[in-house]
Structure 1
Amino acid sequence: MPQSVYAESEEKYKVEDWSIIKRLWKYVRPYTWLFIVAILLIMISAALDLIFPYLSKVAIDDYMNADHAYTVEAINGNIHFMKDPKGTFHLKQLEDGSYVITDGTNNYTVSPETLRELRSSDLEGLTKIVIYMILTLIAMFIAVYLQVYLTNYMGQKITHNIRMDLFKHLMRLPMRYFDTTPSGRLSTRIANDTKNLAEFFSSVITSLVKDVVLLVGIIVVMLKMSFYLGTISLLILPLILVSTLVFRYFDRIAYRKVRTRLAIINAFLAEHISGMSVIQIFNQEKRKAEEFDNVNKSHYKSLMEQLMVFAVFRPLMDLLYYLAIAAIVWFGAKGILAGKVGFGVLYAFTSYVEMFFRPLRDIAEKYDIVQNALASAEKIYRIMDEQEEEYNEDQPAVETLKGELAFKNVWFAYDGENYVLKNITFHVKSGEKIAIVGETGAGKTSIISILNGLYKIQRGDILIDGRSLYEYNLQTLRKKLGIVLQDVFLFSGTVLDNIRLFDSKIPKGRVHEVVRYIGAERFINRLPNGYETEILERAGTLSAGERQLIALARAVLYDADILVLDEATANIDTETEAIIQQAMEKISHRKTVITIAHRLSTIRNSDRILVIHKGNLVEEGTHEELMKLGGIYYDLYRLQYELGDIA
């Protein structure tokens, strides 16, 4: 099967980032206070980040490299040094490591004891700076811990809500949507794409806020500390902005491809794992492996394209960082020699430049995640924007039906053009037992599909108890229409779960009563754990007949007023068929029953038989009347008799 079958359109449809973020914001609103607290914590942690290099600058320039002025006095024959802003003497270290107090002409040797006394205030100041640094680190730890916890909690709650809304929306989409959309693609949207949004909400938004606050704060502090070096540092900003904008454009395109092709892989796997028995029976393993290799390579190429974009951007940011450092060192050294800049200022500037590029790198990485998240959000909202099925929920709930049914000049096409039902008209009385027959593809199952409103007809009308189908509350109406399909779908869980559809409000005793009523108790008792027997995905360990009995019990349990069997006895053994026939005899006394039949022997006792041929209702009557007519029904019956399908 060609890859295009699984692919979504890779058209570059334009969706503004802000429009997506605006739509996502409604999920943040319930957690506004958490978000505000997280932002406050982020601003606190950013401010604490900015303090650290400044404390280092103060430690170096005000205490470690402090050039205090002194006066020299001789008291009782001893030389004393006293700090005096107007003094002409300064402390100087000689090449041999010793210290002297000198005014350029007179030199006085300073003993280690005297040196400690002279620098005692500097040591006290350094001690305070170290204490401030420790307190800053502790405060940063607390602020970051609380911020990370709150943002992750908020992100997971938001993602949970998005995933729930998406799944609820999927359940309300018309059946036509699922006919044209691979299930693997939908699984990708619900599982993988919402996971990308989790990271966006839990870390990206708040991290971007912190990065922006840091950048603004660093620029302000650098300009205030040294306008000369600050201006030089900011000259590199235009290059950074241009690089970021170019990266943004190409990264978004690359991520769209990655998300689309991941969905293709999931859709391919979902279909082929489900159809593994067919692949193995027809020895198609090699060809299917080659097909998957092509799908996998396509995804690999899209990942490499995205990697190339990021591989260019990250080293470019590093290059700009080292250029900025080189400029700061060069012009800072000249400033020190000219006496315009202190060494502590230069040291702080190198720290601030490193800190300046840290959020830039973080923004680049987070922007990578943002592009991933926005690409995922685009895919999610393409599903969310699909029009939901109209349930007429403003109409009162359907409590019970008489079971009267009428088709009036019904025309129906799955694609809106090629009609599979043409001008179908018939009437079913309450409690009547009707059979619908016809060759494969005649349109029998389509009648059931439109009867429960899964598909809308193009022309005509369907009446239930004299009222148009489309005037009912469809959700409650479907509860009164029990349908047993030929291919019964069972969920992972126990037999009991599947009969009552995981509704624990329905007592087990009621389930047992229904199973006994339809005669399926012996079959369930044969299972290893009876009603508690675990059914794996799609119930591969149960026979077709056993699945049919579970589906029939389900329909009877929910007390449907109109019961439809769609080829329910087509592929089952004689014993199970007899059980179903006996059950239908009991049920038909108090319900309207419509049977779509493959084996004509099973519907001979129907009140009426409708014959569908190429989408038209061509014959109608009892078995005897149709046999006398000698038309299509007669030919079908005779053909089955000759093939041995009719005993």
Structure 2
Amino acid sequence: MAQNVYSEAEEKLKVEDWKVIFRLWKYTKPYLPILILALVLIGASTGLDLLPPLLSKMVIDDYMNNEYTLVVIHEGDSVSFIDTEEGTFSLKQTESGDYVVTDGVLQYPITQQQLQELRVEDLNGIGRLALYMVMILISLFFINYGQVFATSYMGQKITHGIRVDLFSHILRVPMRFFDTNPSGRLATRIANDTENMAEFFTSVITSIVKDVLLLGGIIIIMLNLSFRLGLITLLILPVIAAAIFLFRYFDRLAYRKVRTRLAIINAFLAEHISGMSITQLFNQERRKREEFDGVNKNYFKSLMEQLWVFAIFRPLLDLLYYITIAIVVWFGVKGIIGNVLEFGVLVAFVSYIDMFFRPLNDIAEKYDIVQNALASAEKIFKLMDEKEEIYHHEKALPSSFKGSVEFEKVTFAYDGKHNVLKDISFSVKPKEKIAFVGETGAGKTSIISILTGLYRIQSGVIRIDGKDIYDYNLQGLRKKVGVVLQDVFLFSGSILDNIRLFDNSISREKVISAAKYVYAHSFIEKLSDGYDTMILERGGTLSAGERQLIALARAVVFDTDILVLDEATANVDTETEALIQKAMERISSEKTMITIAHRLSTIRNADRIMVIHRGSLVESGNHEELLSKGGIYTDLYRLQYELGDTA
């Protein structure tokens, strides 16, 4: 199946969450003051969130169902009150009017004026509590704004740091890594997985802290309001804990699969969008659509598995919520009837139960995000744990090379098992012009890859100026060895920036001088904006020959001492080939030049030609010497001549 090509191993072993969190702490630590500020604001917000039900309880029990410490004096049809601590009564409204209730018995009617006189303090108290409520809500607005801003800022800065470190690490891993990891998968790690981390730091950490504080505060308040109802409510906690534990396990497994299969989709898309011309030229649209449908269905199935887990958990919490409400109301009403519980306490309890389940639901949803983030973090840190290339930064590099190159019994295999180069030995003198020829797959391009240290050899020694290349600073070495590949890679940007590779320390004048040196200036000047002409990724609007000339200018502007050309004229027209040949002749007078050639006509003037056959160096000499031997070179030359490629 096509998706297997793009898949990566789904981790079977569990990575401990605390290990992942410990590694994330490295990125959080620089923003510790912001985190502390956010936690302080969360504490203040939590305290204010707990107050409204208490204020509602006070409104009901202290002002709406208030008992008055007054003595009732009843004379005829009139009722008056004396302020004293010796008597208590309450008021009750009926269809026939308002009455005084003493000892639970409806006794004396009172006038509307008397009712207003009695209720004036209640109304004032309710007004004060309403004002407090408004002040709490306004305070919550500003506190929550500060907390959200602080956590969002911290989350984005942390994510920025992770993304920069991850991309910087990818820049330093050996080239062998990219042979087995599709670019789409790496893009998923840098873009999608780090975005999951942003959500984790922005909303999850602080929200979970607030939810835990809120739950603790609610439990304490409920036990203080009514120890009996509080215990009844807490009996549901073990069931909730068991549900969360099961959800945690299955959700983590599902999210790992989701992240893996998303990477597969991205890898598939990256490859097939790049190769769209081949798909259309060979009428493969239908088959590729079917392949993508299979990849997409696998991703859909993993999303459905995750959704199935969450779809069970959320309704289960809702069910537990309504069961708890029903039980509390049942026992609360019994308490009110038995005069052991105030009505305001029951109302507050219902509000707190609603508040109690809100953080539980929020924790469930946030835990969903946590699983996503931790699964992404595992992928990110797995990528970060890939061994980096050893550059030997501590080693110095001469300011310039003389340009001698030596291979001594070099053996190389991309996979470490199947050798593509076998016991290769040769030497190149400074400013010598040599060429490698051979059939496709003989190992010519592999010589370039190991000369620049992109891949490590299994045995033998490669020397430049008599010194093992691994004894040089590899990054410095590559600055002195310029490579022009058959398929020149150009970045999105201007012609100017593609020649100097966005290095602004290289002046425009130096770029123009290099372009003139390799005969690229004339065609660049004809473009719409000259050197400032913008091109898209890979330079699709330029011809193969124009891209080759830009690559030659790039090698010249970076002042390399050894120039390697891999099939530089394989896909260019005759006119551009002539320009490239002139540029190569000019460059070869100043630099050591190594050419990988398919067209033998392009390298007949080389000082030496080396023939690679099945990974071994089988012939060496100039054009006439090799033709006189009647060996493999002669066969290659005769074959090209018969096909019309005349020398």
TM bracket (short chain): over 0.9
Separation of aligned partners in 2, 1:204 and 1:346: 32
Separation of aligned partners in 1, 2:97 and 2:21: 63
Question: Structure 1 residue 113 and structure 2 residue 124: aligned?
Answer: no
1:70 paired residue number: 70
Separation of aligned partners in 2, 1:116 and 1:396: 95
SS at match of 2:564: strand
Separation of aligned partners in 2, 1:631 and 1:104: 122
User: Residues 98 and 620 (structure 1 numbering): CA distance in 2 closer, same or farther, change over 3 Å?
Assistant: same
Separation of aligned partners in 2, 1:476 and 1:86: 98
246-255 or 61-70: which moved more? 61-70
Question: Structure 1 residue 452 and structure 2 residue 439: aligned?
Answer: no
Give the Å deviation of 1:21: 1.0
1:315 paired residue number: 315
User: Residues 532 and 30 (structure 1 numbering): CA distance in 2 closer, same or farther, change over 3 Å?
Assistant: same
2:202 paired residue number: 202
User: Residues 583 and 88 (structure 1 numbering): CA distance in 2 closer, same or farther, change over 3 Å?
Assistant: closer
Q: Does the 8 Å CA contact 1:398/1:477 hold for their aligned counterparts?
A: no
1:392 paired residue number: 392
Q: Does the 8 Å CA contact 1:413/1:421 hold for their aligned counterparts?
A: yes
User: Residues 584 and 124 (structure 1 numbering): CA distance in 2 closer, same or farther, change over 3 Å?
Assistant: same
User: Residues 570 and 81 (structure 1 numbering): CA distance in 2 closer, same or farther, change over 3 Å?
Assistant: same
In the superposition, the TM-score normalised over structure 1's length comes to 0.97
1:618 paired residue number: 618
Separation of aligned partners in 2, 1:282 and 1:451: 37
1:178-257 aligned within 5 A: 178-257=178-257
Give the Å deviation of 1:340: 1.4
1:333 paired residue number: 333
Q: Does the 8 Å CA contact 2:91/2:98 hold for their aligned counterparts?
A: no
Separation of aligned partners in 2, 1:38 and 1:89: 49
Give the Å deviation of 1:436: 1.1
Separation of aligned partners in 2, 1:425 and 1:448: 14
2:52 paired residue number: 52
1:378-527 aligned within 5 A: 378-527=378-527
1:290 paired residue number: 290
Which amino acid is 1:461 matched to?
A: V
Separation of aligned partners in 2, 1:121 and 1:262: 65
Partner deviation per Cα, 1:604-623 (whole Å, 9 max, x = no partner): 22111111111111111222
Partner deviation per Cα, 1:580-605 (whole Å, 9 max, x = no partner): 11111111111111111111121122
User: Residues 105 and 292 (structure 1 numbering): CA distance in 2 closer, same or farther, change over 3 Å?
Assistant: closer
User: Residues 89 and 328 (structure 1 numbering): CA distance in 2 closer, same or farther, change over 3 Å?
Assistant: closer
In the superposition, the TM-score normalised over structure 2's length comes to 0.97
User: Residues 627 and 380 (structure 1 numbering): CA distance in 2 closer, same or farther, change over 3 Å?
Assistant: same
Q: Does the 8 Å CA contact 2:68/2:88 hold for their aligned counterparts?
A: no
1:259 paired residue number: 259
Separation of aligned partners in 2, 1:612 and 1:63: 100
Question: Structure 1 residue 124 and structure 2 residue 130: aligned?
Answer: no
Which amino acid is 1:443 matched to?
A: G
Q: Does the 8 Å CA contact 2:421/2:443 hold for their aligned counterparts?
A: yes
176-185 or 525-534: which moved more? 525-534
Give the Å deviation of 1:78: 7.7
2:269 paired residue number: 269
487-496 or 626-635: which moved more? 626-635
Partner deviation per Cα, 1:531-577 (whole Å, 9 max, x = no partner): 12221122222111111001010011100000001110111111111
Give the Å deviation of 1:633: 1.4
Which amino acid is 2:344 matched to?
A: G
1:632 paired residue number: 632
Question: Structure 1 residue 374 and structure 2 residue 374: aligned?
Answer: yes
Q: Does the 8 Å CA contact 1:599/1:646 hold for their aligned counterparts?
A: no
SS at match of 2:97: coil
Separation of aligned partners in 2, 1:90 and 1:494: 86
2:159 paired residue number: 159
Separation of aligned partners in 1, 2:322 and 2:79: 51
Give the Å deviation of 1:100: 2.7
Give the Å deviation of 1:106: 9.6
SS at match of 1:410: strand
Q: Does the 8 Å CA contact 2:409/2:423 hold for their aligned counterparts?
A: yes
User: Residues 634 and 90 (structure 1 numbering): CA distance in 2 closer, same or farther, change over 3 Å?
Assistant: closer
170-179 or 79-88: which moved more? 79-88
User: Residues 498 and 122 (structure 1 numbering): CA distance in 2 closer, same or farther, change over 3 Å?
Assistant: same
Separation of aligned partners in 1, 2:79 and 2:521: 114
Give the Å deviation of 1:264: 0.9
Partner deviation per Cα, 1:191-226 (whole Å, 9 max, x = no partner): 111111110000000000000000011001111111
Identity of aligned residues (%): 65
Which amino acid is 1:506 matched to?
A: I
Question: Structure 1 residue 98 and structure 2 residue 89: aligned?
Answer: no
1:172 paired residue number: 172
Which amino acid is 1:5 matched to?
A: V
Separation of aligned partners in 2, 1:57 and 1:509: 80
Give the Å deviation of 1:88: 4.9
Separation of aligned partners in 1, 2:361 and 2:547: 58
Question: Structure 1 residue 299 and structure 2 residue 305: aligned?
Answer: no
User: Residues 103 and 8 (structure 1 numbering): CA distance in 2 closer, same or farther, change over 3 Å?
Assistant: closer
SS at match of 1:98: strand
Separation of aligned partners in 2, 1:132 and 1:528: 69
1:28 paired residue number: 28
Q: Does the 8 Å CA contact 2:67/2:89 hold for their aligned counterparts?
A: no
User: Residues 97 and 401 (structure 1 numbering): CA distance in 2 closer, same or farther, change over 3 Å?
Assistant: farther
1:139 paired residue number: 139
Separation of aligned partners in 1, 2:102 and 2:328: 33
1:346 paired residue number: 346
Q: Does the 8 Å CA contact 1:489/1:538 hold for their aligned counterparts?
A: yes
Which amino acid is 1:497 matched to?
A: D
Give the Å deviation of 1:92: 3.8
2:540 paired residue number: 540
CA RMSD of aligned residues (A): 1.7
Q: Does the 8 Å CA contact 1:610/1:617 hold for their aligned counterparts?
A: yes
Partner deviation per Cα, 1:321-373 (whole Å, 9 max, x = no partner): 00000011000011111111110000000000000000000001111111111
**What is the aligned residue count?**
647
Separation of aligned partners in 2, 1:638 and 1:629: 13
Separation of aligned partners in 2, 1:405 and 1:288: 46
Which amino acid is 1:362 matched to?
A: D
Q: Does the 8 Å CA contact 2:79/2:110 hold for their aligned counterparts?
A: no
Give the Å deviation of 1:128: 1.3
Partner deviation per Cα, 1:402-432 (whole Å, 9 max, x = no partner): 1111111100000001000011111111111
Give the Å deviation of 1:104: 7.1
Which amino acid is 1:42 matched to?
A: I
Which amino acid is 1:608 matched to?
A: R
SS at match of 1:436: strand
1:595 paired residue number: 595
Q: Which runs of 5+ in 1 are unaligned?
A: none
1:581-592 aligned within 5 A: 581-592=581-592
Q: Does the 8 Å CA contact 1:102/1:108 hold for their aligned counterparts?
A: no
Which amino acid is 1:502 matched to?
A: F
Partner deviation per Cα, 1:415-473 (whole Å, 9 max, x = no partner): 00100001111111111111111111111000000000000000011111111111111
Partner deviation per Cα, 1:146-178 (whole Å, 9 max, x = no partner): 101111111111111111111111111111110
Partner deviation per Cα, 1:373-403 (whole Å, 9 max, x = no partner): 1111111111111111111111124421111
Separation of aligned partners in 1, 2:341 and 2:398: 85
Partner deviation per Cα, 1:120-148 (whole Å, 9 max, x = no partner): 22222111111111111111111111101
Q: Does the 8 Å CA contact 2:606/2:622 hold for their aligned counterparts?
A: yes
Separation of aligned partners in 2, 1:88 and 1:373: 61
SS at match of 2:434: strand
Q: Which runs of 5+ in 2 are unaligned?
A: none
SS at match of 2:50: helix
Separation of aligned partners in 2, 1:60 and 1:79: 26
Which amino acid is 2:485 matched to?
A: L
